Amino acid sequence: MADFGTEDWRNRFSDAMMHTIAPPLAMLVRGEGCYVWDDEGTEYLDFLAGIAVNSLGHAHPALVAAVTDQVGRLAHVSNYFASPPQLELAERLKRLTGAGATGRVYFCNSGAEANEAAFKLARLNRAGGPRTKIVSLHESFHGRTMGALALSGKPAMREPFLPVPGGVEHIHATLGALEAALDDTVAALFLEPVQGEAGVIDLPAGLLRRARELCTRHGVLLIIDEVQTGAGRTGAWFAYQHDGTQPDAVTLAKGIGGGLPIGALVTFGAASELFQRGQHGSTYAGNPLVTATANAVLGTIERDGLVANAARRGDQLWDIITGLGSPLIAEVRGRGLLLGVGLTEPVAARLAAAALSRGLIVNAANESTIRIAPPLIVGDAELAEFERRFGLALASI
């Protein structure tokens, strides 16, 4: 039982775990700050942060204290009851998203669930008559459940599971396609401000603002998926705030919980009135444990100025990557601490493996892109160590 010899755990993993994902890269047993350690004592600099989840890094004192305190007080109640951390988090999210007084928050347990809730919200948009269509982008990623799969612009991911909920049209991220697709038959437009899973692809300049104008004109709900970009990661609390755009709804998860499973749908203005009592819900959603933890995460991000840190460290990281001068690097994309390193050759998987063997965790978002998303607490020492280890990995390819 206690033996975690390398081959032993790999075989046990294969025998016990459903084969939904690739074999794991290592067996991690401990983390602190921006570092994690595996079962053999090897240290890794974690510049993926559980895919933009560990906002405060690992074992942050504020996270540990919040979980410990709340689990010893009250971990879960049903939706028949309220709890102080739940209310505090809802009010905090209304304030941080800019949804303000007319905003409302629905809690759930993951990004996919937040988008499922948003999908149902979209179906309730019947302004001016029936609206049969939902518009989303090619290459987008909104999660793995059936509704979220229908929204996602990745046909191969959807194919084995057809039929998925209908009425979703996928378009390219261009102003022309947007203008052609949006009319009074569309219930909602789903957008990611930066397409993380597609390979850290930025939206074309001006697209979000134009989307806002067209959605307002046609009564379409503008629903922004900030599951990966939210909670300060791009150097703003939410990426739509860079453009001064206000959505009708925003979906959240990943970074707001700092490692505990939580998701949220935040609505703005009239969209807050669409759901009626009894139309949606979830047993665990917004329980005291996860909401107390999210309050600690977001409170720490606020108190320690980590949104500004994400902007500043992101700029530094950008300079470090381009400064490496590797002929393998074609470009850097993204914003703040969500960066994509576009490669001149499809060797991202090999490069990520080379980085891992030099004690650096980054991720191959697609065959020619390395995704980098360190904890928001990252500082000079970690950036210097990243430069050294990533430089070695690049040189080895």
Closest C-alpha among 60, 190, 142, 394 to residue 372: 394
CB-based contacts of 327, cutoff 8 Å, min separation 6: 344
Between CA 142 and CA 209 the distance in angstroms is 21
Alpha-helix runs per DSSP H in the chain: 6-16, 49-52, 61-71, 84-97, 111-123, 146-151, 155-158, 175-181, 207-218, 288-303, 306-323, 348-356, 380-395
CB of 22 to ligand PLP, least distance (A): 16
Cβ closest to ligand PLP, residue 125 vs residue 136: 136
Binding flag, residue 112, ligand PLP (CB under 6 A): yes
Cβ closest to ligand PLP, residue 46 vs residue 394: 46
Q: Which range in 83-91, 104-112, 125-133, 378-386 contacts ligand PLP by CB under 6 A?
A: 104-112
Cβ closest to ligand PLP, residue 253 vs residue 274: 253
Active-site residue, 141 included: yes
One of 35, 44, 141, 386 touching ligand PLP (CB under 6 A): 141
Cβ closest to ligand PLP, residue 111 vs residue 235: 111
Binding flag, residue 197, ligand PLP (CB under 6 A): yes
> In b/e form, how buried is each residue of 104-137, taking b as 16+ CB within 10 angstroms?
bbbbbbbbbbbbbbbbbbbbbbeeeeebebbbbb
Between CA 391 and CA 44 the distance in angstroms is 15
Q: At what angle do helices 306-323 and 288-303 cross, to 10 degrees?
A: 70
CB of 303 to ligand PLP, least distance (A): 26
CB of 384 to ligand PLP, least distance (A): 28
Beta pairing partners, 188: 134, 221
Closest C-alpha among 272, 218, 209 to residue 246: 209
**81 backbone φψ class: left, alpha, beta (φ>0; ψ -120 to 50):** beta
Q: What tokens appear for 134 in the block?
A: 């939902």
Give the total residue count for the chain: 397
DSSP single-letter state for residue 199: T
Q: Which range in 130-138, 140-148, 241-249, 344-352 contacts ligand PLP by CB under 6 A?
A: 140-148
How many alpha carbons lie under 13 Å from residue 284 in its C-beta half-sphere?
11
CB of 152 to ligand PLP, least distance (A): 8
Sign of the dihedral through C-alpha 255, 256, 262, 263: negative
Q: Which range in 136-144, 164-172, 276-284, 309-317 contacts ligand PLP by CB under 6 A?
A: 136-144
One of 46, 116, 139, 225 touching ligand PLP (CB under 6 A): 225
Binding flag, residue 143, ligand PLP (CB under 6 A): yes
CB of 336 to ligand PLP, least distance (A): 15
Phi/psi for 351 (5° steps) reads: -70, -40
Active-site residue, 161 included: no
Q: Where in 231-290 is the site for ligand PLP (CB under 6 A)?
A: 253-254
Q: Residues 46, 107, 190, 225: which is the catalytic one?
A: 225
Cβ closest to ligand PLP, residue 110 vs residue 326: 110
Alpha-carbon dihedral angle through residues 171, 174, 176, 177, given to the nearest 10 degrees? 0
CB of 227 to ligand PLP, least distance (A): 4
Cβ closest to ligand PLP, residue 85 vs residue 196: 196
Q: Residues 46, 248, 254, 268: which is the catalytic one?
A: 254
Binding flag, residue 228, ligand PLP (CB under 6 A): yes
Active-site residue, 390 included: no
Binding flag, residue 111, ligand PLP (CB under 6 A): yes
CB of 241 to ligand PLP, least distance (A): 17
Cβ closest to ligand PLP, residue 48 vs residue 393: 48
Burial degree of 17 (CB within 10 A; 0-12, 13-18, 19+): exposed
Residue number of the CB atom closest to ligand PLP: 111
Write out the catalytic residue numbers. Answer: 141, 225, 254
**Which residues bind to ligand PLP, rule: CB under 6 A?**
110-112, 115, 141-143, 192, 196-197, 225, 227-228, 253-254
